[in-house]
Amino acid sequence: MFEREEKELAQSRNKIEKIMVSEELADQAILKGIQKAKAMQLKKNKTRPFSLLLSASLIFLSFFLTIHTSDSAAKFFANIPGLEQVISKIRNDTGLLAAAENNYIQKIGMTKEHTSGSVTIDSIIHDEKSIIVFFTGGNSDAVLSISLLDDQQQLLDAEYKFEQTEALDISDTLESRTLTLTDPQDTMPDEINIRVEVNTDKIEYLTFPVTLDKEKAAKKKEFELNETVTVAGQQLTFTSIEIYPTMTAVHVKYPEENSMEIFGFNDLQLIDEHGNVWSQYPSEPAANTRTKNEEVVILESSYFTESEKLYLQFTSLRALDKKETSVVIDADKEQFIKTPSDGLLSDVYIIKDDLYIRLDTNSFENLIFPLEEVMGSKGGGYGIAKDADHMRYSLPYNGSQLIHLNLVDYPADIERKTKIEIK
Amino acid sequence: MEIADLLKKAKKGDDHAFYLLIKIHRDRLLKVAISYLKNEGEALEALQEVTFRAYKSIKKVKKPEYFSTWITRIMLNYCHDQAKHRKRMTVTDLFEEYNSKEDYEQKIVIEDALSKIDDRSREVIILKYYHDLKIKEIADILGSPESTIKTWLYKGMKSLRKELEEGSGIHV
């Protein structure tokens, strides 16, 4: 009876579901709500016996301490004048926090105006391979993108891989971008220009000349490994590890002979003799550089921690039989012709220009199809929505009858507790 | 732990139990908030405020089976208050905050139409189509008989159709 309205509502709902709210921020919001109510209650109860008050606040305090102990270092560093915002942004990254502790943040504080606002480069953290630029855009409408030029204004071959930092406060205006030189042979020059492309209704460029402070950069530590391990009959070879002040890069090879396609590690980490752990960044495929049978997995940096022993360890990998990694869909019938045999891909349907695919798990938030293959001509529309018991992927639908998609990630694990000695 | 156990503990002042109770309902509450407020920041603020309000009056919840309804109602009331504050903001402004440009026009049609129909009907439509609630659940949350909810739903969908037909003339 109301088909059109129902369809439009379904689409609108889907758009709204794409607004993902960070679970961490949501949990913090809950804690703040409790804190606020508690504070008010304590005020009200002022006339009550002191002992009661004390026990209430003690319970409260211990409850919060268990959650926030890892913040204590961040809080300490946050007292460094002028760097509070940067510290708050990197406080969940053990390696970057150590870089800050070792005075490896270079303050820039340079502002330039464009037609509809301004951009300030607040500070940078850099090493021979990467630079993390912390900046604020005065005008929220402008889309800012950052690139690196050398002193001759020539573009440096650097790529934006992933975000190491995260917004922890709703009002956080400080943004950051991590740029890494693409060619393994390249090193960061001493004189660079940070170029900010400001995209409003027109494009403007702001260039910030920066001399990298050599005192605040450090040489990488490199370990040759060439260790091969076998997990569920699949071989993987850890070739080498490079530890930079900003990150750790683990090079892994997956031989062509493997019967399974390996999508990534669930929990690769470095650990030392004291139990210090440096973890993988949230496992987005985009976080790691990947060519066909080779991958560079990025972990937090253990650069500034003096450890006698260092191990690489993991318990599980995401992998699927190579024969199962392609998905074929009959668009007319809205049916799968081919999917992985576990049946997790359980439903497909089309509404107007969007193709919806249901994946029966609610704990997997990676993109399972390659971005470049599914980007529509209209330039977007790839989204994931999380429901109570499933995920819903929406891709732009181009009208063709048969749709072929290759999985680039999938929630199927192979497991083996593995620990490799690095030093 | 079951909701009943958590509620019992939370009513006795166990903060961790209360935290877990809200955390269980977190995603649902956020979904409601987002469907009204349309952005992460305000949805988080809403979650904080609803936690605050719920903490203050947790003792009022008599039966555990009403907890979900009760907390959702607090969220709805909060979103209503916020919506009133923002009445002056145009629908277009709201969308610029979160909408991707390519879907812009189409989005305005349906959302604009929704914003023009009466409050009660809109609420029922949002709860049914954005949150998959059953008529009975909606009746519980809004505190009205199921027959009334059905009437509002029907009335709302009719108004929505009317608005969409008028709206589509503008966007052709």
At residue A14, the 3 state secondary structure works out as helix
Domain boundaries, chain B: 1-88, 90-172
A371, A304: one domain: no
Considering only the beta carbons, identify the residue of A1, A23, A37 that sits closest to B52. A37
**For the domain that residue A146 is a member of, what is the CATH number?**
2.60.40
Chain B residues near residue A8 by CB distance under 8 angstroms = 106, 109-110, 164
Is B13–A56 a contact, with Cβ atoms under 8 angstroms apart? yes
Which of B18, B13, B12, B14 shows the shortest CA–CA distance to B3? B18
Interface test with B, best of A3, A4, A5 (most B CBs within 10 A): A5
Of A189-198, A211-220, A313-322, A367-376, the least confident: A367-376
Query: Which ipTM was obtained for this model?
Result: 0.75
A258, A140: one domain: no
A173, A310: one domain: no
Is A5–B161 a contact, with Cβ atoms under 8 angstroms apart? yes
Q: Which fold has domain B1-88?
A: Rna Polymerase Sigma Factor; Chain: A (1.10.1740)
Q: How many domains would you assign to chain A?
A: 4
Average pLDDT, chain B: 77
Residue A326's pLDDT is 92
A134, A257: one domain: no
A209, A97: one domain: yes
Q: Which residues pair with A345 in a beta bridge?
A: A359
Residue A287's pLDDT is 42
Q: Is residue A79 part of a domain?
A: no
Last residue in a domain, options A197, A214, A231: A214
A238, A107: one domain: no
A186, A248: one domain: no
* A 165-204 residues inside an 8 A Cβ radius of B: 170
**Which pair of tokens denotes residue A388?**
């109570």
Contact A241, A249 (CB under 8 A): yes
Cα-to-chain-centroid distance, residue A311: 23
Q: Is residue A83 part of a domain?
A: no
Write the DSSP string, A29-50: HHHHHHHHHHHHHHHHGGGS-H
CB count, 10 Å around CB of A147? 18
Contact A134, A174 (CB under 8 A): yes
Q: Is residue A228 part of a domain?
A: yes
**Which pair of tokens denotes residue A284?**
């987005």
Q: Report the first-to-last Cα separation within chain A, whole angstroms.
A: 70
A417, A286: one domain: yes
Which of A413, A418, A186 shows the shortest CA–CA distance to A319? A413
pLDDT in tens, B7-29: 988 888 788 889 889 988 998 89
Interface test with B, best of A30, A52, A62, A67 (most B CBs within 10 A): A30
A250, A399: one domain: no
pLDDT in tens, B28-60: 899 888 888 877 888 998 999 999 889 988 888
In terms of residue numbers, what domain contains A62? Answer: 3-74
A21, A141: one domain: no
Answer whether residue A296 shows pLDDT above 60: yes
Residue A45's pLDDT is 39
Q: Is residue A85 part of a domain?
A: no
SS (H, E, C) chain B: CCHHHHHHHHHCCCHHHHHHHHHHHHHHHHHHHHHHHCCHHHHHHHHHHHHHHHHHHHHHCCCHHHHHHHHHHHHHHHHHHHHHHCCCCCHHHHHHHHCCHHHHHHHHHHHHHHHHCCHHHHHHHHHHHHCCCCHHHHHHHHCCCHHHHHHHHHHHHHHHHHHHHHHHHHHC
Q: Beta A130-137 vs A175-181: how paired, if at all?
A: antiparallel
Is B107–A386 a contact, with Cβ atoms under 8 angstroms apart? no
Amino acid A243 reads I
Average pLDDT (A262-274) is 91
Contact A164, A93 (CB under 8 A): yes
d(CA A253, CA A188): 26
CATH of domain B90-172: 1.10.10.10
Query: Would you call B158 exposed, middle or buried from its count of C-beta atoms within 10 A (0-12, 13-18, 19+)?
Result: middle
Give the pLDDT band of residue A77 (cuts 50, 70, 90). very low
Task: Return the higher-pLDDT residue of B91 and A30.
Answer: A30
Answer whether residue A362 shows pLDDT above 80: no
Average pLDDT (A314-327) is 93
